[in-house]
Amino acid sequence: MNSLPWIVLVCLCIILIKSLGNYFNIKRSRKTSVELVEKQFSMETFYTLIMIYIIVLIGFGSIYFILSFQGLILVENGKIDDVNIIGSLVHSFYFSGVTLLTIGYGDITPIGIGRLLAIIEALIGYILPAAFILRIVIQHRNERDY
């Protein structure tokens, strides 16, 4: 059994976890009241959230793609189709996006450990907006305390 896909999978998971951890690392800083109002909702924070969604989508899409070589199958419309590498890549990223955004069309479903991964990804997609708002509130409170 080739261990390279598993090494890549572990590295992707570590990068994904570190990226999420860096986002929620809130630092205290001294700001004036004008800067506080501007900071409550900045485009930088919004772009950061978008980048986190993209990182998670690409990370999980890559995990699904790598696991497709190890037996994880994404079933389309209830039947197993033999797809080429490009088709598998497209299916993996599409499924990742639909799962992350908790849309869940149901046209592609995972089999095996992919079900657990899909639950974890959907949970991340469900919690990210709440964590985004919580981060803004905590950041505002920390800056107001100074």
Domain ranges of the chain: 4-10+42-145
User: What is d(CA 63, CA 69) in angstroms, rounded to the nearest whole number?
Assistant: 10
The CATH number corresponding to 4-10+42-145 among 3.40.50.300, 3.40.50.2300, 1.10.287.70, 1.10.600.10 equals 1.10.287.70
Residues 6+ apart with CB under 8 A from 48: 23
CA distances in angstroms from 106 to 69, 76, 103, listed in the order given: 22, 9, 9
pLDDT of residue 22: 62
Tens-place pLDDT, residues 50-88? 899 999 999 999 999 998 888 777 887 777 777 788 888
Biggest CA-to-CA distance, the chain? 60
Q: How many CB atoms lie within 10 A of CB 129?
A: 11
Q: Is the pLDDT of residue 134 over 60?
A: yes
Q: Is the pLDDT of residue 96 over 90?
A: yes
User: What is d(CA 93, CA 103) in angstroms, rounded to the nearest whole number?
Assistant: 14
pTM for the full model? Answer: 0.70
